[in-house]
Amino acid sequence: MEAAELELERRSRFLSSLIQKKKAVEQKDHHDMLNVRVRASDMPVALQNCAFRRARDHLDSEPGKLDSKKLALALKKDFDSSYGPAWHCIVGTSFGSYVTHSTGGFLYFSIDKVYVLLFKTAVEPLDH
């Protein structure tokens, strides 16, 4: 019986690796289509894709000109309303930063030649 269990475990690992490879290829295709490159992230893929789509839609709506404040505000408001408060967004072609963020709430990516830093911080009630 032990040999059968080992074989099932081996097959399970093999199938899991195939699924992960397929997901990685699909994710890369999606990134290529949007012209996105993830620089650093600890954000779930679904949230990343939402940020990429929103940024792409915004840039496509005003071709040829970048209003970095407008894009940052749009991403911040979208994430605040969809995923709770305390999202912050920095957009530009050149900037430096050092931030503290909540676990699972950090994404730094480029789209075209624009860099976007989107992150969430914890909100704590004020003590009176």
Delimit the domains of the chain by residue range.
Answer: 1-34, 37-128
pLDDT tens by residue, 29-69: 556 678 999 999 999 999 999 999 999 999 999 888 899 99
Q: What are phi and psi of 63, to 5 degrees?
A: -65, 145
Sign of the dihedral defined by the CA atoms of residues 67, 44, 82, 127, in that order: negative
* Cα distance between residue 20 and residue 41, in whole Å: 18
Give the residue, 21 or 75, on which the prediction is more confident.
Answer: 75
Residue 71: predicted pLDDT: 97
* Domain 37-128: CATH architecture, name and number where available: 2-Layer Sandwich (3.30)
* Cα distance between residue 57 and residue 28, in whole Å: 19
Residue 33: predicted pLDDT: 79
Residue 62: predicted pLDDT: 87
Tokens representing residue 15 in the block: 């199938």
Do 117 and 97 contact (CB within 8 A), yes or no? yes
Where is average pLDDT lowest: 30-44, 68-82, 86-100?
Answer: 30-44
Tokens representing residue 32 in the block: 């290529």
Residue 1: predicted pLDDT: 63
Q: What band does 22 get if pLDDT is binned at 50, 70 and 90?
A: low
- In sequence order, the 6+-apart residues with CB closer than 8 A to the CB of 44 are 104
Q: Would you say residue 104 has pLDDT above 80? A: yes
